[in-house]
């Protein structure tokens, strides 16, 4: 094997970028020629030969063979990456938003230019998942991919449960500790998990995914009571990214969404706590496999970025006709079904007037809408003379559930929360 | 991409071989030209163009580009695989015993002949683990790899716990159900797990491993009482394959072994039940990642075999200088330390005379041997006027524990079992 040094450029020297620089110190055949940053004057704990605030210096540098993009966002990342690809550079990126929104365009361009685009770090941080799906598991026809894809929300939900405190209180604590950002929207409203499930669905089902059609619900409406009641019934509440075949006989139809779910404690996903992530795959012939590990952080994410860099570096300089790694050639668009056409089990937290017949009324509304109940839990009478009732349904149509909820509201039965059940 | 059909040969049409044939039916660019079996007259639920009882027909067939060896054993597998490699064929094998015993020889020969040898199915069945360690995680420096690597023993231990029955009773039931073989030695005495941890240690630490130096202990001495007492103290008993750096400052020194362990219920490995497998990796920068899934079976194992076949097939016919995938170039031998030089926590199940001072005597012997106790549990007095005492120690030297046990025996304190604690 040739031992030529391979020159790379890094766009972004934040948390992940610094981790990449520190990790690459162990590998002498890879040289970080240039790093691009937003602010040249910021103090950093890593040093790189050349630092610039013009990332185009990197993507236009003829000596640089691999461009590592760990800055995030779409602007200017899209332009930088497309320019780099046109300049025949291989790409390693951790940018889940960019891939979810512009993946098709980027992969097409990469194929035209015969370069590799790797993005292991874009989903589930340090957990190997993109590589295994594209290599070891490629003989499978998958029916489902699901997981805990966002560490911040999993941390908040874990602490809400441990400390029996509200979402708001917990968010504040997470922000103070640096686990949540000052503007937490991207995490707590499920955008981050949505980008990741879009990429997972793409490689698992070999279809192009429209990220705008993914149903998305965050964790901001989960109450300490919801978590407590779920626990009593044998569940944990987790923010789940989910992509599955919507119709066994029609491989084009996919059901893709991000929302909180009650996960039975018998399911290993329920045991994934704090900032950990997990990805579960179901398919034939493998049946079910699950991958767990740190979903974010300087070093775990660097592990995935460096793994990608080393894979590309390992292929360079051996031959003139290197095959792009993990080429993405899927051109068909998925037919993404609307949440209202899905079927689920549901947890419904109900605040009902404390009068005779309330449970009966709930039961009647459900019955009228083809909804069978599997558990009912009444949690005493509150000071305002209302009863807290928790219902868990059997599998029901989303449309029927929405109708039932409207009808309950018409009867002054208040709905605290509706959460789907795994 | 070229769509040339690639011809392969399969040696072995047992459980795994059949699964491979059925799975490959979905992939038209791979043609199974010939399958070799031991008994041509056996009825099978799969059909292949040519069936032979002479596997050398496959390894000497100029048309066959990939040889898939799923027959097991070393004779004639070693001769078949080396012949195939010399004939420039790529190899996919599920043969953990062959790799553990003759891996170095096979990899050297493959490098000389510029062919790939892939073996994802040899460890942990359907779980992607060899591929991820060699690709996505290759930027890591690992300190430890550990896991539940044998489905049969995990099934037996799970059922012993669920039903509170003896090992013998459980083995019988597992044999009746086809989960254990008529001669269960390879599984229950830890040989199977030993072969797998040898391969995992090889790729995790980049060292050649002497399988004869791996300490090995099976599950045949685990009693229903051990499992019950472990549960009371917050542990599950699992057969663990373990390879770790023995000395932070000396990367050559490895501690590799297979034996039952008490796993704290807080550790996710404790929740891996029945025939499931799990592999945990610890290293920098990734920290900890865990992979779980089915460790054996027709289809899960076929998933890994077919993944390997498709990876090699994907590289063929594109260029004359295809790089062998996952080339194994590690020539250094590990310095494998003896179990007596390790440190562990221990569970000791003691049967002691019911006399004043027995607990004191146990405590004194431990103290004299530098062993600190973290838990003591006395389980009443038995009919024969003996006391059942369970001790869990802090981290102690294996040598000190062995000395303490000798000294207890000299004082008529009987040792029912000694199990290491994770």
Confidence (pLDDT) at B379: 80
Q: Name which of B112, B135, B141, B269 to mutate to probe chain A: the one with the most chain A Cβ atoms within 10 A of its Cβ.
A: B135
Whether A285 and B138 lie within 8 Å, measured CB to CB? no
Q: With an 8 Å Cβ cutoff, is B284 touching chain A?
A: yes
Q: Which of A196, A238, A253, A345 is catalytic?
A: A196
Q: With an 8 Å Cβ cutoff, is B192 touching chain A?
A: no
Q: Residue B2: pLDDT above 60?
A: no
| pTM of the full structure | 0.95
Q: What is the pLDDT of residues A230-246, one digit of tens each?
A: 999 999 999 999 999 99
pLDDT confidence tier of residue A379, bands split at 50, 70 and 90 = confident
Q: What is the pLDDT of residues B175-224, one digit of tens each?
A: 998 889 999 999 999 999 999 999 999 999 999 999 999 999 999 999 99
CA dihedral A74, A75, A76, A81 (to 10 degrees): 20
- Which comes out higher in pLDDT, residue A158 or B383? A158
Whether A307 and B136 lie within 8 Å, measured CB to CB? yes
Q: What mean pLDDT is predicted for residues B154-167?
A: 97
Domains A6-123+298-315 and A343-421 share a fold: no
Question: How far A240 CA lies from chain B's nearest CA (Å)?
Answer: 19
Nearest to A295 by CA among A389, A179, A131, A160: A179
Q: Residue B5: pLDDT above 80?
A: yes
Domain ranges of chain B: 6-122+298-315, 130-294, 343-421
Determine the CATH number of domain B130-294.
Answer: 3.30.360.10
Q: With an 8 Å Cβ cutoff, is B290 touching chain A?
A: yes
> Which residue in chain A is spatially nearest to B288 when comparing CA positions?
A293
Q: Residue A368: pLDDT above 70?
A: yes
Whether B136 and A131 lie within 8 Å, measured CB to CB? yes
- The partner residue sitting opposite B137, judged by closest CB among A292, A294, A307, is A307
B137 contacts in A (CB within 8 Å)?
A: 128, 303, 307
Whether B318 and A323 lie within 8 Å, measured CB to CB? yes
Homologous superfamily assigned to A6-123+298-315:
NAD(P)-binding Rossmann-like Domain (3.40.50.720)
Q: With an 8 Å Cβ cutoff, is A2 touching chain B?
A: no
Chain B contacts in chain A segment 294-333 (CB below 8 A):
294, 297-300, 302-304, 306-311, 314-315, 318-319, 321-323, 329
The complex's ipTM works out to: 0.93
**Cβ–Cβ < 8 Å for A413, A357:** no
Q: With an 8 Å Cβ cutoff, is B292 touching chain A?
A: yes
B307 contacts in A (CB within 8 Å)?
A: 135-140
Looking at chain A, the whole-number percentage of residues with pLDDT higher than 70 is 98
Q: Residue A399: pLDDT above 50?
A: yes
Q: Name which of B279, B285, B315, B319 to mutate to probe chain A: the one with the most chain A Cβ atoms within 10 A of its Cβ.
A: B285
Q: What mean pLDDT is predicted for residues B247-266?
A: 95
Q: Residue B322: pLDDT above 80?
A: no
> Which residue in chain A is spatially nearest to B287 when comparing CA positions?
A300
Nearest to B218 by CA among B184, B180, B168, B258: B258
CATH topology classification for B343-421: Alpha-Beta Plaits (3.30.70)
Which residues of B are identified as catalytic? 196
- The partner residue sitting opposite A138, judged by closest CB among B298, B310, B322, is B310
> Which residue in chain B is spatially nearest to A319 when comparing CA positions?
B321
Q: What is the pLDDT of residues A55-112, one digit of tens each?
A: 999 999 999 999 999 999 999 999 999 999 999 999 999 999 999 999 999 999 999 9
- The partner residue sitting opposite A303, judged by closest CB among B19, B24, B286, is B286
Q: Residue A1: pLDDT above 50?
A: no
Q: What is the mean pLDDT of chain B?
A: 94
Query: Helix axis angle, B167-176 relative to B151-163, nearest 10°?
Result: 120
Q: Name which of B22, B29, B139 to mutate to probe chain A: the one with the most chain A Cβ atoms within 10 A of its Cβ.
A: B139
Structure tokens at A278: 């997990």
Q: With an 8 Å Cβ cutoff, is A19 touching chain B?
A: yes
Q: What is the pLDDT of residues A227-286, one digit of tens each?
A: 999 999 999 999 999 999 999 889 899 999 999 999 999 999 999 999 999 999 999 999
CA distance B364 to B350: 15
Q: What is the pLDDT of residues A288-343, one digit of tens each?
A: 999 999 998 999 999 999 999 999 998 887 655 556 788 888 889 999 999 999 99
Give phi and psi for B42, each to the nearest 5: -65, 140
Q: What is the pLDDT of residues B100-119, one digit of tens each?
A: 999 999 999 999 999 999 99
> Which residue in chain A is spatially nearest to B267 when comparing CA positions?
A271
Whether A293 and B293 lie within 8 Å, measured CB to CB? no
Listed in sequence order, the residues at least 6 apart from A169 whose beta carbon sits closer than 8 Å to its beta carbon are: none
Homologous superfamily assigned to B6-122+298-315:
NAD(P)-binding Rossmann-like Domain (3.40.50.720)
Q: With an 8 Å Cβ cutoff, is A56 touching chain B?
A: no
Whether residue B285 is preceded by a cis peptide bond, meaning omega within 30 degrees of 0, is yes
Question: How far A1 CA lies from chain B's nearest CA (Å)?
Answer: 10
Confidence (pLDDT) at A319: 58
- The partner residue sitting opposite A289, judged by closest CB among B127, B138, B322, is B127
Q: With an 8 Å Cβ cutoff, is A168 touching chain B?
A: no
B135 contacts in A (CB within 8 Å)?
A: 128, 131, 135, 307, 311
A265 contacts in B (CB within 8 Å)?
A: none
Whether A132 and B136 lie within 8 Å, measured CB to CB? yes
Q: What mean pLDDT is predicted for residues A11-20?
A: 96
Q: Residue B417 pairs with which residues in a beta bridge?
A: B349
Using the 8-state DSSP alphabet, how is residue B333 labeled? B
């Amino acid at each position: 094997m040739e031992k030529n040094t391979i020159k790379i450029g890094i766009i972004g020297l934040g948390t992940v970028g610094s981790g990449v620089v520190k990790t690459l110190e162990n590998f002498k055949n890879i040289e970080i020629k240039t790093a691009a940053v937003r602010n040249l004057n910021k103090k950093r704990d890593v040093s790189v030969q050349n630092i610039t605030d013009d990332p185009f210096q990197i993507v236009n540098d003829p000596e640089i063979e691999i461009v590592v993009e760990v800055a995030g966002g779409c602007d200017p990342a899209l332009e930088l990456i497309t320019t780099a690809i046109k300049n025949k550079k291989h790409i390693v990126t951790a940018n889940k938003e960019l891939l979810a929104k512009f993946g098709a365009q980027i992969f097409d361009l990469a194929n035209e230019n015969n370069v590799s685009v790797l993005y292991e770090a874009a989903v589930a941080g340090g957990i190997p998942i993109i590589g295994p799906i594209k290599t070891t598991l490629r003989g499978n026809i998958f029916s489902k991919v699901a997981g805990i894809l966002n560490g911040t929300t999993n941390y908040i939900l874990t602490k809400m449960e441990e400390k029996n405190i509200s979402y708001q209180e917990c968010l504040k604590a997470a922000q103070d500790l640096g686990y949540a950002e000052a503007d937490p929207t991207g995490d707590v409203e499920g955008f981050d998990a949505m980008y990741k499930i879009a990429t997972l669905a793409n490689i698992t089902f070999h279809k192009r995914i429209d990220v705008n059609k993914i149903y998305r619900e965050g964790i901001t409406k989960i109450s300490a009571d919801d978590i407590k009641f779920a626990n009593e019934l044998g569940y944990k509440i987790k923010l789940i990214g989910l992509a599955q075949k919507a119709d066994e006989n029609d491989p084009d139809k996919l059901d893709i969404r991000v929302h909180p779910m009650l996960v039975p404690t018998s399911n290993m996903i329920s045991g994934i706590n704090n900032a950990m992530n997990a990805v579960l795959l179901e398919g034939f012939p493998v049946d079910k496999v699950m991958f767990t590990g740190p979903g974010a952080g300087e070093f775990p994410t660097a592990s995935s970025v460096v793994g990608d860099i080393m894979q590309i570096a390992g292929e360079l300089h051996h031959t003139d006709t290197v095959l792009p790694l993990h080429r993405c050639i899927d051109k068909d668009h998925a037919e993404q079904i609307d949440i209202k056409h899905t079927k689920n089990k549901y947890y419904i937290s109900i605040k009902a007037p404390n009068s005779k017949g309330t449970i009966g009324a709930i039961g009647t509304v459900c019955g009228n809408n083809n909804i069978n109940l599997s558990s009912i839990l009444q949690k005493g009478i509150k000071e305002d003379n209302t009863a807290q009732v928790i219902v868990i349904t059997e599998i029901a149509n989303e449309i029927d559930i929405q109708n039932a909820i409207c009808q309950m509201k018409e009867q002054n039965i208040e709905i605290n929360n509706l959460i789907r059940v795994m």
